[in-house]
Amino acid sequence: MTDNLATERLRKLAGFFANNPSIQYVTPTSPQYAELCAAYVSLPDLNPLAIARPSTVEAATSVVSFVVTNDIPFTVRSGGHDSFGRFFRNGAVAVDLRLINYVEIDQESSTARIGGGILGGHMIRALQKHGLAAAVGTISSVGYAGWAMYGGYGPYSSKFGLGVDQILAAKVINAKGELVDADAELLRALRGAGGAFGVVAELTIPVHRLDQTLAGAIAFQSDDLPVVIRQYNLGYQALSAEGIPAELTLQQSIINLPHGKTLVVLFVWASPDIETGQLWAEKICALAPVAHNAIQPTTPLTYLTDTDRMVPSHTRGRVRTISLKRLSDEVLDVISANVLKMPADPHTIFAMHELRTGTPSAQAHSDSVFAAREGHFVFEIIGNAQREENLDRATAWGQDFWNELTRTDPENVLPATYLSLSAPEEVQMSRVFGENYAWLVDMKGKYDPRGVFAAATARL
């Protein structure tokens, strides 16, 4: 983009915001610019032309309508946890929705209308005041809409389903800059391909009576990581074959703790039946020798806050992902070999999310384009580093780990990778969406013929 074009666009934007003083607006010369550009992963090479911060759906509609009418490119930020910074583009206006963070509960229908910029933690805090909870991501600072639209794995996936299956209704700002209620066709596209079809200004989601859970982290003795990884997983596979209640969701990770690399399992029992949950906690703890057990009766909000302490608020590096159907002996060998090589940096982490067979989202949903519907594990290889001197090693480790996983049994590899964790230059949308891809391309031509939402995560 030429300097003259940028100047002309800034002039037009200045005029619009002068006539709409209630909408926050910053440019690179504004003192708040650096703070508002901050995200989970450091993105020094991404500098938006300006940042607009509407605080209402109506204001967001006005902003989007203006930039669309004036052919000003824009991106949308609903949270800021995307490791690839797809919420920013150089020379584009960033429409930051995070001030649109309301929660309006309908007790009669057990639903809530939530603002398109709400963070998961803010939503859970509002729901807890009413003894309610909802499906949410693992970390409180993740934007709910972006998390949900592209899959949405989290601590309640086994009980409530993935985030993508929480979308009951939506208000969307379309390619003409108009606010519309999504019809069945548009909702189907949103459930998996999200922002490729509009700016999601509001979602309606189900909420559940749940004011107490049994949850916490189990740290297993990890002096011999390959042994404990295999022991835990073989035991878990035996339990799974017998049947695990939907109330239980588990997430494995290898974390660099002060005393060394440790297998940590996050345990969430999504039921007020604490007694039965305790029995399942004992079964999980019996799978391998335990160093520390932090499982306790808690609330959804407290658990989310506790989990936040395990993950940095800001970091640098990149994530890689692959989805596998089973943790075979071959896969466990690859995991064991590579976690031993994991750099000893507190920000370098390996984690897995599971969509367990037999749970609500592990079945065909004709009203969604999200394709990964059979039981599987999503690998999150986090090649991040707290210290600059560790960054190259962490990134190379993540690349090598991912390369080895791609060479395992191809019949065990899911064609669809988790879009939220997939690098835009590497992902193949036809594989992500499978048999839904051709339909989505047709819908893109229908709903966004000019490519207004070209910066969306799902590029069609």
CA torsion 229→232→238→240, rounded to 10°? -90
Looking at the structure, tell me whether residues 123 and 185 fall in a common domain. Answer: yes
Q: Are 251 and 303 in contact (CB under 8 A)?
A: no
Looking at the structure, tell me whether residues 281 and 372 fall in a common domain. Answer: yes
Residues 277-317 have pLDDT tens digits of 999 999 999 999 999 999 999 999 999 999 999 999 999 99
pLDDT at 220: 99
In the numeric block, which tokens belong to residue 185?
């066709």
d(CA 152, CA 123): 15
Specify if 449 maps to a domain: no
pLDDT of residue 4 exceeding 90, the answer is no
CA angle 52, 423, 457 (to 5 degrees): 40
d(CA 155, CA 138): 6
- Count CB atoms within 10 A of the CB of residue 219: 17
pTM of the model: 0.96
Looking at the structure, tell me whether residues 302 and 394 fall in a common domain. Answer: yes
Task: List, in order, residues 6 or more apart from 114 with CB less than 8 Å away.
Answer: 101, 102, 103, 104, 123, 144, 202, 203, 204, 205
Percent over 70 (pLDDT), the chain = 100
Query: Across residues 170-199, what is the average pLDDT?
Result: 98
The single-letter code of the amino acid at 165 is D
Specify if 404 maps to a domain: yes
Query: Across residues 163-177, what is the average pLDDT?
Result: 99
pLDDT at 1: 66
Residues 319-370 have pLDDT tens digits of 999 999 999 999 999 999 999 999 999 999 999 999 999 999 999 999 999 9
Task: Write b or e for each residue in 54-82: b if 16 or more Cβ atoms lie within 10 A of its Cβ, otherwise e.
Answer: bbebebbbbbbbbbbeeebbbbbbbbbbb
φ, ψ of residue 205 in degrees (nearest 5): -130, 160
d(CA 377, CA 416): 12
Looking at the structure, tell me whether residues 174 and 235 fall in a common domain. Answer: no
pLDDT at 96: 98
d(CA 292, CA 310): 15
CATH number at residue 303: 3.40.462.20
CA diameter of the chain? 68
Specify if 375 maps to a domain: yes
Looking at the structure, tell me whether residues 354 and 283 fall in a common domain. Answer: yes
Looking at the structure, tell me whether residues 289 and 332 fall in a common domain. Answer: yes
Looking at the structure, tell me whether residues 192 and 245 fall in a common domain. Answer: no
Last residue of a domain, one of 62, 96, 130: 96
The single-letter code of the amino acid at 123 is M
Percent over 90 (pLDDT), the chain = 96
Mean residue pLDDT across the chain: 97
Can you tell me which residue has the tokens 């607009």?
52
Q: How confident is the model at residue 125 (pLDDT cuts 50, 70, 90)?
A: very high
d(CA 120, CA 143): 6
Looking at the structure, tell me whether residues 316 and 390 fall in a common domain. Answer: yes
d(CA 202, CA 125): 18
Specify if 428 maps to a domain: no
CB-facing half-sphere around the CA of 54: CA atoms within 13 A: 26
Question: Domain containing 332: what range?
Answer: 213-421
φ, ψ of residue 255 in degrees (nearest 5): -125, 145
Give the lowest-confidence range in 76-90, 117-131, 388-402. 76-90
Q: Are 322 and 417 in contact (CB under 8 A)?
A: yes
Residues 76-86 have pLDDT tens digits of 999 989 989 99
The single-letter code of the amino acid at 429 is M
CATH number at residue 78: 3.30.465.10
d(CA 302, CA 97): 25
Specify if 11 maps to a domain: yes
Last residue of a domain, one of 190, 209, 228: 209
293, β-bridge pairs: 218
Q: What's the helix, strand, coil split of the chain in %, to 5?
A: 35, 25, 40
Which helix H or strand E contains 379, and what residues bound it? strand 376-385
Looking at the structure, tell me whether residues 178 and 286 fall in a common domain. Answer: no
Number of compact structural domains in the chain? 3
The distance of Cα 14 from the centroid of its chain, to the nearest Å, equals: 33
d(CA 199, CA 184): 17
Query: Across residues 421-426, what is the average pLDDT?
Result: 92
In the numeric block, which tokens belong to residue 160?
């409530």
pLDDT of residue 44 exceeding 90, the answer is no
Looking at the structure, tell me whether residues 40 and 154 fall in a common domain. Answer: no
Task: List, in order, residues 6 or more apart from 156 with CB less than 8 Å away.
Answer: 133, 134, 135, 136, 249, 268, 270
Specify if 447 maps to a domain: no
The single-letter code of the amino acid at 13 is L
If 0-12 CB within 10 Å is exposed, 13-18 middle and 19+ buried, where does residue 413 land?
A: middle
The distance of Cα 214 from the centroid of its chain, to the nearest Å, equals: 23
For residue 79, give Cα distances in angstroms to 24, 30, 101, 141, 173: 17, 21, 11, 7, 18
SS3 (DSSP) at 165: helix
SS3 (DSSP) at 322: strand
d(CA 362, CA 372): 8
Task: List, in order, residues 6 or more apart from 2 with CB less than 8 Å away.
Answer: none
In the numeric block, which tokens belong to residue 286?
């019996």
Last residue of a domain, one of 76, 96, 116: 96
Specify if 452 maps to a domain: no
pLDDT at 333: 98
Looking at the structure, tell me whether residues 123 and 227 fall in a common domain. Answer: no
Specify if 190 maps to a domain: yes
Q: How confident is the model at residue 23 (pLDDT cuts 50, 70, 90)?
A: very high
Looking at the structure, tell me whether residues 279 and 297 fall in a common domain. Answer: yes
